[in-house]
Amino acid sequence: MNNEFSLTFHGVRGSYPVPGEATRRYGGNTSSLLFEIAGQVVIFDAGTGIIQAGRWLDGRLRSGQAVHVFLTHLHSDHIMGLPFFAPLFNPEVTVVVHCPESGGAESQRALEALFIPPYSPITLRGIKARLDFQPLAASKEVSTLELENGVEVAHIMHDSHPRQGVFILRIACGRRRVVYATDVESPGGFDPVVGGFIAGADLLVHDSQYFERDYFSATDPRAGFGHSTVAMAANNALRSGVKRLFLFHFDPRYSDAMLEEMLTQARQIFPASALAREGERIDIK
Ligand SMILES: [Zn+2]
Ligand SMILES: [Zn+2]
């Protein structure tokens, strides 16, 4: 059996893409994670990073293969790469977009709008893949979806992110688990249900948008914006007993050098911390 379980970060920045000198080391694209597990391809979020993920997959997908794209929420930094995702233009594959139900049928319509004028010249007829939309139930209880080859994706809603909340996602195969908690804010730590959802993961990818000094700034505080500080991320990793933490969804105004300062702070709380870096592939053993 194919024992592969890998994660590749294709976009790690928050809010909007920031290409340029100051973001060259960790990358300027917005949220997108590619998982290749036991022959199953799963993507979390469709920020501009999904464009690179699509190029990597182009030519590698088998005829009839399904690519599952799970969206944590519909903020533009998590969906804006979708119209440029190469597998959508491959007639041999199926792309299943799992969209948050928080807006009801509106979610699917909102996503479809990305492909039609005036936002795009393509129109839905231009999509050659079989495209399915599957709703993700907005619930604070854990829901689990079984994909092929023993891969499971679970989700739970967290309401700290304005306005319709966000889904925390967990992907598992056998004993190996990765949790993706982006666009979350938890000044007092996660509640026990979310804590249990994360507990014991091999890898936790956690929102780390702000330094404490910016979050608590006297002149321009970021509390209530729906994002975490580096300390919140590190403390959540510590409390939930995960093996490794990857800081993620960095403020677009922060340079690479500032992220490295952030990492030093995280390691003082949780030593097994790292910065998510665009293009980095991690094999989970
Ligand atoms: Zn975001
Ligand atoms: Zn957001």
Distance (Å) from CA 226 to ligand 1 centroid: 9
Distance (Å) from CA 96 to ligand 2 centroid: 21
Distance (Å) from CA 90 to ligand 1 centroid: 28
Q: Which ligand is nearest to the CA of 158?
A: 2
In a domain, 249, yes or no: yes
Smallest CA-to-CA distance from 181 within 205, 155, 153, 209 is with: 205
Q: How many CB atoms lie within 10 A of CB 146?
A: 10
Local confidence pLDDT in tens for the 285 residues of the chain: 589 999 999 999 999 999 999 999 999 999 999 999 999 999 999 999 999 999 999 989 999 999 999 999 999 999 999 999 999 999 999 999 999 886 556 788 888 888 888 988 888 888 999 999 999 988 888 999 999 999 999 999 998 888 788 999 999 999 999 999 999 999 999 999 999 999 999 999 999 999 999 999 999 999 999 999 999 999 999 999 999 999 999 999 999 999 999 999 999 999 999 999 999 999 999
In a domain, 282, yes or no: no
In a domain, 285, yes or no: no
Q: Which domain holds residue 105?
A: 5-276
In a domain, 284, yes or no: no
Q: What is the CATH number of the domain that holds 91?
A: 3.60.15.10
In a domain, 281, yes or no: no
- Give this prediction's pTM: 0.97
Q: Give CA–CA dist 132/28, Å, rounded.
A: 29
Distance (Å) from CA 209 to ligand 1 centroid: 9
Q: Which ligand is nearest to the CA of 80?
A: 1
Q: Give CA–CA dist 14/53, Å, rounded.
A: 17
> What is the total count of domains within the chain?
1
